[in-house]
Amino acid sequence: MSNAYTTVIGLEVHVQLATHSKLFCRCSTQFGAEPNTQTCPVCIGMPGTLPVMNRQAYQLALRTAVALNCDIPEFTKWDRKQYYYPDLPKGYQISQYDLPMSDDGFLEIADAKDRFEPKRVRIIRAHLEEDAGKSIHDEAAGKADSEIDLNRTGTPLLEIVSQPDMRSAAEARAYLEEMKLLLTYIGVSDCNMQEGSLRCDANVNLHLDHEGESIATPIVEIKNLNSFRAVERAIEYEAARQYKEWQENSEPPKARQKYLARPKQTRGWDDAAGVTRAQREKEESSDYRYFPDPDLAPVITKGDEVQAVREALPELPAALRERLGEDYGLGTYDADVLVNQGRALVDYYLAVADGSGDPKAACNWVTQDVLRVLKDQESTIDQFGVSAENLAGLVKAIDDGQLPSSRAREAFEVMLADGSAVDAAITKLGIEQVDESALEDLCRELLAANPKIVADVQDGKQQAVGALIGQAKKKNPNADPALVRQICLKLIGEGV
């Protein structure tokens, strides 16, 4: 069935920009306050009040648009999008219509697990607008009223609309994850989905062949997608549902024509039931009567300002992955793991790699040991007990032979526990270099005491030597197991 159609997906992402105050008034945007405690006459839309645009919101929007490779037109303006809803106190949302602040960008996505080919998802536009408030319907109380909270009203949002360039739920998810990563790298949003800082609607339809004719099924907009997982599930569900619907309506030709001419539909995702459901809409509800907001001045952004924003951008995830591959010799998978953890972890890694001069080993330590501990401790890298400098010291000590790799993990645990440098850990653990002749003496002693093992090895059972390694460690904890094994085999071979 997967060959029977192609799923075509476009995503509309709303990102809350990380300002202190709202887009058009100076109320706080802090999440989680008591209902209606972060409002003022402006964001309540009281008569006579006027919006004044938050400079930082515009700057964050501009930075994002530039990072998404968008063009920034010199002239942009704000429009009113008009509809009635109780969480929209002015009766219109201030948004952008025909002259958005940016257009025509792209975001590149790839999959470390190779489920799809790397691709460039084109971005139609990104524009700045204000958020609405919240309606709470208390079904438990069984009352006929909904309660309106306007705290969120007027929070700055960037709406990013992609072309329908994605072809699977996995691609859609990768787009969202890469988007989130990019936005957090450039510091424009915390992208917290639980708090609604990142919201997503998906436009989905199917392309298929019907008796040599290319068919595109009517587009469905899926709303209420509250997690990346929900986006994936909803797209998969919707593709299957649309295919079934197509099959039911593909014949006779009259029914097919009628089906294909259906207008775009809006469906809501029910996460618990795992289904999308049609949402009731009236014909007039899409007549938004946009017109330029007379209360707001347009914004003119010159090319040199855009250039300055571009130059001030931090290194973006894609470039960073490339640098990790080229300059540090990391494979795609490792680079991905590091970069996806966020800039702070990458910086930590880079410090370990540069400090130790061994990027591969640094990568192993960071992606395995460090990440394991962070996961166990449910903490982040800035709270991590081993400084990058100290971890670099540890890697270096191993490479220099100062610390046997067999005891490196022990040293790491000590460093983690007390924040010490590798030298102190070595001292604390009593690790010292055992010289080879001393080790040979120890081995001779062990072989003499274990004739059975010697005989077994001589009979070809080389693994029998393993028992000696344990004994050696008991007698001298600094004995390098590999060396013990090697010396024992050598001595047996020499017929000791």
Partner 1 sequence: MSLADLTASELLDTLGRGEASAVEAAREYLALIEQRDGDIGSYLRVDAEGALAQAAEVDRKREAGEELGPLAGLPVAVKDVLCDSAGATTCASRMLEQFHPPYDATVVAKLKAADAVLLGRLNMDEFAMGGSTENSAFQVTRNPWDRGRTPGGSSGGSAACVAAGLAPLAVGTDTGGSIRQPAGLCGVVGLKPTYGRVSRYGLVAFASSLDQVGPMARTVRDAALLLEAIAGHDPHDATSLEEPVPQYAATLDKPLEGLRLGVVKEHYGAGLDGEVESAVRAAIAQYESLGAEVREISLPHSKYAVATYYVIAPSEASSNLARYDGVHYGYRTDQTKMVAELAAERKALSDAGDEAGLAQLDTALVRMYRKTRAEGFGPEVKRRIMLGTYALSAGYYDAYYLKALKVRRLIRQDFDAAFEQVDLIASPVTAAPAFKLGEMVDDPLAMYLVDLYTVSANLAGIPGISVPCGFNTAGLPIGLQLLAPPLKEARLLRGAHMYQQATDWHQRRPAFSATPSE
Partner 2 sequence: MSLTRQDVEKVALLARLQLTDDELATMTDQLAQIVDYVDQLAEVDTDGVEPMAHAVEVANVFAADEVRPSLPREAALANGPRTNGRGYLVPAVLGD
Binding-site ranges for Mg ion (CB under 5 A):
159
Token readout for 170 is 């996995």
Three-state SS for 308-334 is HHHHHCCCCHHHHHHHHHHHHCCCHHH
Which residue from 6, 12, 14, 28 is in contact with partner 2, where contact means CB under 8 A? 28
Residue 49 binding partner per list Mg ion, partner 1, partner 2, none, with a CB distance cut-off of 5 to 8 Å that depends on partner kind: partner 1
When asked if residue 58 is in the footprint of partner 2 (CB under 8 A), the reply is: yes
Peptide bond into 294 cis (omega under 30): no
Residue 159 binding partner per list Zn ion, Mg ion, partner 1, none, with a CB distance cut-off of 5 to 8 Å that depends on partner kind: Mg ion
Dihedral of CA atoms 29, 30, 36, 42 in degrees, nearest 10, equals -20
Dihedral of CA atoms 99, 102, 105, 106 in degrees, nearest 10, equals -110
Specify whether the CB–CB gap between 163 and 12 falls below 8 A: no
Say whether 449 sits in a helix, a strand or coil.
helix
Specify whether the CB–CB gap between 378 and 349 falls below 8 A: no
How many residues interact with partner 1 (rule CB under 8 A)? 30
Query: Nearer Cβ to Mg ion, position 12 or 358?
Result: 12
CA distance 385 to 71: 44
Query: Nearer Cβ to Mg ion, position 159 or 232?
Result: 159
Here's the x/- map for Zn ion, 371-410, by CB under 5 A: it reads as ----------------------------------------
Strands 213-216 and 198-210: antiparallel
Query: Nearer Cβ to Mg ion, position 17 or 330?
Result: 17
When asked if residue 479 is in the footprint of partner 2 (CB under 8 A), the reply is: no
Token readout for 348 is 């930590």
Q: What's the first-to-final CA gap in the chain, in angstroms?
A: 70
Specify whether the CB–CB gap between 463 and 483 falls below 8 A: no
When asked if residue 27 is in the footprint of Zn ion (CB under 5 A), the reply is: yes
Which residue from 40, 374, 421, 429 is in contact with Zn ion, where contact means CB under 5 A? 40
When asked if residue 25 is in the footprint of Zn ion (CB under 5 A), the reply is: yes
When asked if residue 312 is in the footprint of partner 2 (CB under 8 A), the reply is: no
Query: Nearer Cβ to partner 2, position 177 or 281?
Result: 281
Residue 55 binding partner per list partner 1, partner 2, Mg ion, none, with a CB distance cut-off of 5 to 8 Å that depends on partner kind: partner 2
Restricting to residues 220-259, which ones interact with partner 2 according to CB under 8 A? 223-224
Region of 38-46, 201-209, 227-235, 452-460 interacting with partner 1 (CB under 8 A): 38-46
Which residue from 30, 37, 52, 482 is in contact with partner 1, where contact means CB under 8 A? 52
Angle at 153 between CA 276 and CA 222, to 5 degrees: 15
When asked if residue 38 is in the footprint of partner 2 (CB under 8 A), the reply is: yes
CB of 24 to partner 1, least distance (A): 9
Token readout for 311 is 């130059």
Query: Nearer Cβ to partner 1, position 209 or 295?
Result: 295
Query: Nearer Cβ to partner 1, position 296 or 318?
Result: 296
Restricting to residues 149-188, which ones interact with partner 1 according to CB under 8 A? 150
Query: Nearer Cβ to partner 1, position 90 or 199?
Result: 90
When asked if residue 263 is in the footprint of partner 1 (CB under 8 A), the reply is: no
CA distance 61 to 132: 18
CB of 43 to Zn ion, least distance (A): 3
Phi, psi of 51, rounded to the nearest 5 degrees:
-85, 140
Say whether 9 sits in a helix, a strand or coil.
strand
When asked if residue 286 is in the footprint of partner 2 (CB under 8 A), the reply is: no
Closest Cα to residue 196, out of 169, 157, 162, 235?
157
Which residue from 27, 148, 353, 472 is in contact with partner 1, where contact means CB under 8 A? 148
Place of tokens 């010697």: 454
Specify whether the CB–CB gap between 105 and 147 falls below 8 A: no
CB of 193 to partner 2, least distance (A): 18
Restricting to residues 279-338, which ones interact with partner 1 according to CB under 8 A? 287, 289-291, 294-297
Three-state SS for 173-185 is HHHHHHHHHHHHH
Closest Cα to residue 267, out of 241, 293, 294, 232?
241
CA distance 105 to 70: 4
Query: Nearer Cβ to Zn ion, position 25 or 366?
Result: 25
Rg (C-alpha) for the chain, rounded Å, is 31
Which residue from 22, 80, 173, 267 is in contact with partner 1, where contact means CB under 8 A? 80
Here's the x/- map for partner 2, 109-148, by CB under 8 A: it reads as --------------------------xxx------xxxxx
Query: Nearer Cβ to partner 1, position 97 or 106?
Result: 97
| Beta-strand runs (E) in 177-249 | 198-210, 213-216, 220-225
DSSP states along 400-445? TTSS-GGGHHHHHHHHHHH---HHHHHHHHT--PPPHHHHHHHHHH
Give the footprint of partner 2 on this chain (CB under 8 A). Answer: 19-21, 26-28, 34-41, 44, 46, 52-58, 77, 84-86, 135-137, 144-150, 223-224, 268, 279-280, 284, 287, 289, 291-292, 294, 296-300
Give the footprint of Zn ion on this chain (CB under 5 A). Answer: 25, 27, 40, 42-43
Give the footprint of partner 1 on this chain (CB under 8 A). Answer: 41, 44-53, 80, 82, 84, 86, 89-92, 144, 148, 150, 287, 289-291, 294-297
